Structure 1
């Protein structure tokens, strides 16, 4: 399983995102892992890879998570 990369504010760890909005790519490892391990996180699941980051920059979500391989691009 690929590692996950989560971008959150400096004062927030991923566990502190309970009840917050996090963007992930639909069908990704991040989506599956967060659904399973952090059920209190509200997921926004756009279809393409740049969208989770864009949603964070636009203030639509509180953080985003991507699979580790994508972060190497």
Structure 2
């Protein structure tokens, strides 16, 4: 058994993705709606979390980080 995790930012693409996977022979999929902490705080205005997310810039400034 294998597990693939995909974060799809545009829900309008979901049907096409599932159709393509089915055509590729993938027998099933579980779809779960989720919200990342960055999006939640962008909507709610959480300054504390923004500070926390910026912590890696201080500890590892040479790395490029992505938040999903």
Give 1 or 2 for the bigger CA radius of gyration. Answer: 2
Of Structure 1 and Structure 2, the greater strand share is in 1
TM-score, L = length of structure 1: 0.27
Larger proportion of helix: 2
Q: Which has the higher contact order (CA 8 A, sep 6+)?
A: 1
